[in-house]
């Protein structure tokens, strides 16, 4: 049997715009490659600019805003690099792995890339088995119990590092030394089993508003728009991106009036025009 000390692992974690992998997007990736004898071989960390806004509930977890992501690369640029980092030799580790697996599979589908073939081990049942007396099995709870953290960061690389430390402590406390024993106790999954993701196909929109928005984005121009059924005032916005959900189409733009990035439903725009440069 292969000994655990001879294997490489990659702990990874995503921060996202929400909890639905079909509708939401990854906005931060953190990962650390390690082994039992080399606690840190390499790391991967990046923010990702999404094509939809961040939900309030997601913001409450990680604290990231659209302003934090404005200069970040898109997933089309990031994902090939992350897949190369994963390679095919390491066992992937994620806490509540079904969440991260589903998001990785969905992003691969969107980018027309094949998902990695690595085995993915969920550390949640592993922690339940090793430390059955814990109050709960949130990663941060286990980390506090083991004295590994004092504050919760909820960021991609920090959580990946914490997951690595928890896993290494669990291997030590469980006495497991053979990889076959580990995999037989905590059944790993293949990423390809969750790669069959289907997205709704939004109808084609050819409205004047959408064409103006697309022109504003491509030419980096501002828009003046009258938004909402009862609004008569115009506001100036800087469009950043568009996305669709079902049959509805949306624009993410920085609202000059409020000084924040907001999401506007395109069919609620009463009138708009390009602001003169």
The residues assigned a catalytic role are: 154
| CA–CA gap between residue 199 and residue 209 (Å, rounded) | 24
Q: How many Cα atoms occupy the beta-carbon half-sphere of 26 within 13 Å?
A: 31
Residue for token digits 């009463």? 270
10 closest CA partner among 77, 76, 124, 90: 90
Of 163, 160, 94, 86, the residue nearest 122 (C-alpha): 94
CA distance 221 to 228: 22
Token couple for 143:
């980390």
Please tell me what DSSP assigns to residue 181.
H
Q: How far apart (Å, rounded) are the C-alpha atoms in residues 111 and 122? A: 25
Per-residue b or e along 190-220, where b marks 16 or more CB atoms closer than 10 Å to that residue's CB: ebeebbebeeeeeeebeeebbebbeebbeee
Are 30 and 158 in contact by the 8 Å Cβ rule? The answer is: yes
């Amino acid at each position: 049997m292969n000994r655990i000390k001879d294997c490489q692992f990659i702990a990874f974690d995503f921060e996202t715009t929400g909890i639905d992998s079909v509708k939401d997007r990854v906005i931060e990736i953190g990962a650390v490659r390690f082994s039992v004898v080399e606690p840190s071989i390499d790391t991967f960390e990046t923010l990702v600019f999404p094509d939809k806004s961040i939900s309030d509930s997601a913001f409450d977890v990680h604290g990231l805003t659209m302003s934090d992501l404005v200069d970040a690369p898109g997933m089309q640029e990031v994902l090939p690099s992350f897949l190369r980092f994963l390679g095919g030799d390491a066992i992937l580790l994620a806490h509540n792995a079904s969440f991260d697996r589903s998001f990785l599979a969905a992003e691969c589908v969107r980018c027309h890339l094949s998902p990695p073939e690595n085995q993915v081990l969920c550390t949640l049942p592993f922690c339940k088995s090793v430390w059955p007396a814990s109050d709960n099995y949130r990663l941060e709870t286990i980390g506090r119990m083991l004295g590994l953290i004092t504050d919760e960061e909820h960021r991609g690389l920090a959580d990946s590092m914490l997951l690595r430390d928890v896993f290494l402590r669990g291997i030590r406390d469980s006495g497991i030394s053979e990889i076959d024993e580990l995999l037989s106790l905590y059944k790993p999954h293949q990423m390809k089993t969750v790669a069959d993701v289907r997205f709704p196909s939004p109808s084609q929109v050819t409205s004047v508003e959408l064409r103006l928005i697309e022109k504003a984005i491509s030419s980096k121009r501002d828009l003046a728009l009258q938004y909402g059924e009862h609004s008569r005032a115009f506001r100036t916005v800087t469009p950043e991106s568009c996305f669709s959900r079902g049959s509805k189409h949306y624009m993410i733009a920085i609202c000059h009036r409020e000084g924040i990035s907001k999401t506007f439903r395109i069919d609620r725009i009463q009138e708009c025009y390009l602001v003169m440069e």
